Amino acid sequence: MEAEGARLSLPRHRRRSVFREERRLGAAMLAPSLAVIALVAAYPICYAVWLSLNEYSVITPGLSRFVGLDNYVEALGSAQFWEAMETTVLFTVISVGLELAIGLGMALVMHRAFRGRAFLRAVVLVPWAILTVVTAITWRTIFEPELGFVNTTLSALSLPGGDVVWLGEEGYALAAMILADVWKTAPFMALLILAGLQGIPDELHDAAKVDGANTWQRFRSITLPLLIPAITVALIFRTLDALRVFDLPYVLTKGANGTETLSLVAQAELVANRNTGLGSALAVLTFITVMGISFLYIRFMGGNIRALTREEE
């Protein structure tokens, strides 16, 4: 405000030059970030679209011809693409749903446990800090045939199921992948929701108690509605990540037994099969699948972005 006042007291031409200077500085400060984004993200995406419209010779590198939408027709006509789409969507819906339920539970527990809160928060950060690849390895030590925790324990207790190859059967493999994802990311959900919980004033609960509302009623009509913004953003974040999932199935099962996701199919087509055109088309289709959620995310963040970039006059 004061600087604004000082600026306004300057003669008109001087004031304009201060603004111009500021604009020039701003452009210079934004340039490196925008250059990186343009060259390493925006341009490659456009190039991916171009690549996907061509067919490339496997025998003669560099030889290609324009084929229009042929690669998309092939991708959309293949059973593999639709199976991957089904796996990805199923994985996303179930794991994000479970993460919300478990994350909400954990957040409520952490909120209640006054004495142990700091300790619990530290515990909850452990799975979050573990690399996704290590998460996959961790769950392999649990489900590995003959050596894993589940098989060895079931055998030791003479319970049925000790000889089931959990990661080798459709259904079980996807369930293991979901479990691993829930383990790693429910804590993230819990921390976001806990932050939301801590923002709810105690007075609201006290007032409701005076009015005779029981715990469940207070949860339903005070806690839950006030948590909606925190939950929405956590859901959007997690849905985006789940739709893009790659490392978890890659290391856990190599995409076998009904765990092949969209990103996996595209990457395999591109790198293992060296099929640039079809691989790019699959990558673009993955991009389009995620776009809807990206749009929701930006719309939801609109208020925050506006608050950050608002001029302070």
Partner 1 sequence: MRRVLIWLAVVATILFCLFPFYWLINTSLKTGADLSSANLLPPSPTLDNYTSIFEDTAFTQALRTSAIVAGSVTVLSLLIGSFAGYALARLHLPFKFLILAVLLSISTFPPIAIAAPLFEIWTDIGLYNTYLGLILPSLAFGLPLTVYILASFFRDIPRELEEAALVDGATRFQAFRKIVIPLGAPGVVTAGLLVFIFAWNEFLFAITLTSTPDRRPVPAAIAFFTGSQQFEIPLGTISAAAVVVTVPLIALVLIFQRRIVAGLTTGAVKG
Of these, 8, 13, 33, 216, which contacts partner 1 (CB under 8 A)?
Answer: 33
DSSP assignment of 201-257 equals -HHHHHHHHHTT--HHHHIIIIIHHHHHHHHHHHHHHHHHHHHT--HHHHHHTTTTT
> Is 223 a binder of partner 1 (CB under 8 A)?
no
Q: Does residue 255 touch partner 1 according to CB under 8 A?
A: no
Report the nearest approach of partner 1 to the CB of residue 206 (Å): 18
Measured from the CB atom, the residue of 220 and 299 that comes closer to partner 1 is 299
Stretch that binds partner 1, among 35-43, 78-86, 170-178, 201-209 (CB under 8 A): 35-43
Nearer to partner 1, 221 or 294 (CB): 294
Number of residues that bind partner 1 (CB under 8 A): 115
Cβ 248 vs Cβ 177: under 8 Å: yes
Q: Which residues inside 128-147 make contact with partner 1, applying CB under 8 A?
A: 128-134, 137-142, 144, 146-147
Residues 6 or more apart in contact with residue 300 via CB below 8 angstroms: 232, 233, 236
Which of residues 80, 155, 217, 221 is near partner 1 by CB under 8 A?
A: 155
- DSSP label of 171: T
Which residue in 81, 51, 78, 84 sits closest to 67, CA to CA? 51
The answer for residues whose C-beta is within 8 angstroms of residue 91's C-beta and 6 or more apart is: 174, 177, 178, 181, 242, 245, 259, 261
Residue 258 Cβ vs partner 1, minimum distance, rounded to whole Å: 19
**Residues 190-219 contacting partner 1, CB under 8 A:** 191-192, 195-196, 199
DSSP character for 11? -
Cβ–Cβ < 8 Å for 72, 281: yes
Host H or E run for residue 306: helix 276-309
- From the CB of 73, what's the least distance to partner 1, in Å? 18
3-state secondary structure of 310: coil
| Stretch of residues binding partner 1 (CB under 8 A), selected from 9-17, 93-101, 200-208, 277-285 | 277-285
What the block records as the tokens of 255 is 């995409």
In the set 10, 14, 16, 47, which binds partner 1 (CB under 8 A)? 47
Which residue in 15, 74, 169, 183 binds partner 1 (CB under 8 A)?
183
Residue numbers 54-83 binding partner 1 by CB under 8 A: none
Residues 13-32 that bind partner 1 (CB under 8 A): 19, 21-23, 25-30, 32
| Using rule CB under 8 A, residue 187 touches partner 1 | yes
Q: CA-to-CA distance for 188 and 128, rounded, in angstroms? A: 7
Using alpha carbons only, what angle is made at residue 230 by residues 224 and 231, rounded to the nearest 5 degrees? 65
C-beta of 55 vs 247, nearer to partner 1: 247
> Per CB under 8 A, does 45 bind partner 1?
yes
Q: Which is nearer to partner 1, 174 or 280 (CB)?
A: 280
Q: Name the residue nearer to partner 1 (CB basis): 95 or 286.
A: 286
Which is nearest to 101 in space by CA: 240, 234, 276, 258? 234
3 vs 79, beta carbon nearer partner 1? 3
What is the Cα–Cα distance from 301 to 296, expressed in whole angstroms? 9
We find the least distance from the C-beta atom of residue 146 to partner 1, in angstroms, to be 6
Asked if 153 interacts with partner 1 (CB under 8 A), we say: yes
